Amino acid sequence: MLTALAGACGAPPGLESRGQPVPVPSLAGTPTPAFPPGYKPEPTVSLSRGASPSLSPFSEFVTVPCGTRVTADQVISLVRDQTQIRPSRATNGPLCAGTWQYTELQVPANDPVQAVTATRDSLRLIAVGTDVCTAEVKLQAPSAIRTAAGC
């Protein structure tokens, strides 16, 4: 039995080496693209006054901390201004992907909530609550935002 298995090793018929080595492409001199293939950053306007439009540095495929582009205080203010929800602080985020943001917010004496925002000309509230997987989020948000929100 062992001999039969050992005899089965090797290249299948028709795939034996024909003496020509397979060329290996050289990686030297190949530039690494700034964005994944097919991704085209959209122009966005910074949230500060007087800033000129710039390309979004955020990939749509992973979430990263937004830094100063969108702050937790801006998201909290937006949620407070547009809803009855009164978050006290961000427990996670804002995280950016493309021109969208995901933030987890602590609400005193209530369950934590999630907020999904987007920036075009200004910061816009897309969804807020314990389930932010609205039709707009599912259809338009970058995949990384949908993943962070559990959609």
Sign (positive or negative) of CA dihedral 131, 76, 41, 62: negative
Closest by Cα among 73, 107, 77 to 93: 73
Q: pTM for this structure?
A: 0.64
14-72 pLDDT per residue, tens:
655 566 665 655 555 555 555 555 555 554 444 444 444 444 568 889 999 998 889 99
pLDDT, mean of residues 75-90: 95
Give dist(CA 98, CA 143) in Å, integer.
10
